[in-house]
């Protein structure tokens, strides 16, 4: 009999897929309940706020309590894994851990990571490169970003022009100087003392198609990509400092900017990232559980075939408002390499996540080009069939 694992987040499909592939029975909790997630899991709970892209605390706690019942028909889980949408809510993580054991970073670790003074103070003390931060914007003629460390997904980032009035910062907010570079991430597994770097990835970040005030939206990730040995050494050195200082456990990621030969750390995601989809050969969810529960880090897996050396994951966003009809839903379901499939009758506003695509290839340029082509083909298919 397989062990059971619960996974929760704004969207639980990626975690559910990874858990099932690694030999777990899955219980899923998320906002969408798409066809994939329901098919992958033994049971699904809705934990969303109606009409809002946010996890409802009461629904999450009730669902985890239900999943952890002694007489549960699905088998009592080892615990639950927190995904996207929870990394900025350590209080909710703490309450949820009372319902079912949390397999991942502790709420206390998350709270410290999401406290601007603690996190950026640590980076400065350790000499870990990062863009300058401030509580009050300097009069330097530079563009600054307003970030909310209690949010997720980069949709909270606002660009402040040099002429914009200085904002009043709330809890968890910080100003960070806008810096050049390619958005990147490093996927790793930690046991609270050490970390194993799985690979470095290129992120796809674009402006929101409708909301001009949202210049950075996470759209996908491709990896692993080759990088200079000096960068790998710098990332590992950062992990060697961050992991024991913050007690990082399980699958996590570093977000950073790569500009020429230099890099700057942006943030640590203290939960399994979307890039978990890029590393199936590492058995990432099994590695997450072993690192959290037994303190074991994975050994390097066999290399993937050259034609499958790189994987890309792309979120497809609706270009216009529409309601998905039965024929459109069927076309999406029949499309190759397409996931997070919505049900007929679901309404989308322009800019809403619609589905996702995953592709393998011999290198990042090939995968990125094919992902873009597949995204445009899917959108054209829906728009011409409506």
- Sign (positive/negative) of CA torsion 210, 214, 219, 222? positive
Q: Do 49 and 81 share a structural domain?
A: yes
CA atoms of 199 and 298, how far apart (whole Å): 13
Show which of 294, 319, 347 is a domain's final residue: 294
* Bridge pairing between strands 310-317 and 217-223: antiparallel
- Assess whether pLDDT exceeds 90 at residue 192: yes
Show which of 265, 294, 323 is a domain's final residue: 294
Contact (CB, 8 A) for 219 and 205: yes
Q: What's the pTM?
A: 0.94
Instruction: Enumerate the β-bridge partners of residue 359.
Output: 312
Contact (CB, 8 A) for 381 and 329: no
- The torsion angles phi and psi of 277, rounded to 5 degrees, stand at -65, -20
Range of the domain at 256: 112-294
Average pLDDT, the chain: 92
Q: Do 325 and 288 share a structural domain?
A: no
- Which strand (E) or helix (H) includes residue 198? strand 195-206
Any domain includes 299: no
- Sign (positive/negative) of CA torsion 144, 85, 20, 107? positive
CA atoms of 249 and 104, how far apart (whole Å): 6
Q: Do 96 and 116 share a structural domain?
A: no
Q: Do 245 and 116 share a structural domain?
A: yes
Any domain includes 98: yes
Show which of 260, 294, 328 is a domain's final residue: 294
CA distances from 368 to 181, 220, 355 (A): 18, 10, 17
Total domains in the fold of the chain = 3
CA atoms of 197 and 270, how far apart (whole Å): 14
CA atoms of 343 and 354, how far apart (whole Å): 11
Any domain includes 66: yes
What pLDDT was estimated at residue 53?
83
- CATH for 95: 3.40.50.20
- CATH for 286: 3.30.470.20
Q: Do 337 and 281 share a structural domain?
A: no
State both tokens at 66: 């239900």
Tens digits of residue pLDDT in 89-127 = 999 999 999 999 999 999 999 999 999 999 999 999 999
Tens digits of residue pLDDT in 328-358 = 999 999 999 999 999 999 999 988 899 999 9
DSSP string, 244-282: HHHT-EEEEEEEEEEETTEEEEEEEE-S--GGGGG-GGG
Residues in the chain: 386
- Region 193-217: mean pLDDT is 87
CA atoms of 380 and 318, how far apart (whole Å): 11
Any domain includes 300: no
Q: Do 225 and 282 share a structural domain?
A: yes
Q: Do 220 and 154 share a structural domain?
A: yes
State both tokens at 149: 């460390």
Any domain includes 301: no
- Assess whether pLDDT exceeds 70 at residue 212: no
């Amino acid at each position: 009999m397989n062990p059971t694992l619960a996974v929760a987040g704004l969207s639980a499909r990626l975690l559910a897929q990874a858990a099932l592939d690694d030999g777990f029975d899955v219980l899923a909790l998320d906002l969408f309940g798409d066809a994939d997630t329901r098919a992958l899991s033994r049971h699904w709970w809705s934990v969303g706020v109606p009409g809002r892209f946010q996890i409802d605390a009461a629904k999450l706690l009730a669902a985890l309590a239900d999943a952890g019942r002694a007489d549960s028909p699905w088998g009592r889980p080892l615990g639950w894994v927190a995904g996207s949408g929870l990394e900025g809510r350590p209080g909710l993580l703490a309450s949820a851990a009372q319902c079912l054991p949390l397999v991942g970073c502790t709420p206390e670790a998350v709270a410290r990571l999401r406290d601007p003074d603690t996190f950026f103070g640590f980076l400065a003390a350790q000499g870990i490169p990062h863009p300058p931060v401030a509580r009050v914007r300097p009069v330097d003629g530079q563009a600054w970003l307003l970030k909310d460390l209690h949010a997720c997904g980069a949709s909270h980032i606002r660009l402040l022009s040099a002429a914009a009035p200085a904002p009043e910062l709330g809890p968890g907010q910080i100003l960070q100087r806008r810096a050049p570079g390619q958005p990147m991430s490093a996927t790793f597994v930690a046991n609270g003392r050490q970390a194993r770097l799985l690979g470095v990835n290129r992120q796809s970040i674009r402006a929101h198609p409708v909301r001009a005030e949202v210049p950075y939206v996470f759209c996908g990730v491709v990896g692993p990509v080759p990088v200079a040995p000096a960068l790998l050494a710098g990332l590992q050195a950062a992990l060697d400092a961050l992991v024991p200082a913050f007690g990082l456990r399980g699958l996590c990621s570093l977000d950073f900017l790569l500009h020429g030969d230099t890099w700057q750390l942006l943030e640590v995601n203290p939960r399994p990232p979307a890039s978990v989809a890029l590393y199936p050969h590492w058995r990432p969810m099994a590695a997450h559980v072993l690192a959290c529960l037994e303190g074991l880090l994975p050994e390097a897996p066999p290399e993937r075939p050259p034609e499958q050396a790189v994987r890309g994951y792309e979120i497809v966003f609706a270009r216009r408002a529409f309601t998905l009809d039965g024929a459109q839903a069927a076309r999406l379901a029949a499309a190759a390499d397409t996931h997070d499939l919505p049900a007929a009758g679901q309404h989308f506003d322009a800019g809403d996540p619609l589905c996702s695509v995953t592709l393998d290839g011999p290198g990042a340029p090939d995968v990125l080009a094919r992902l873009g082509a597949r995204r445009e083909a899917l959108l054209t298919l829906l728009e011409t069939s409506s």
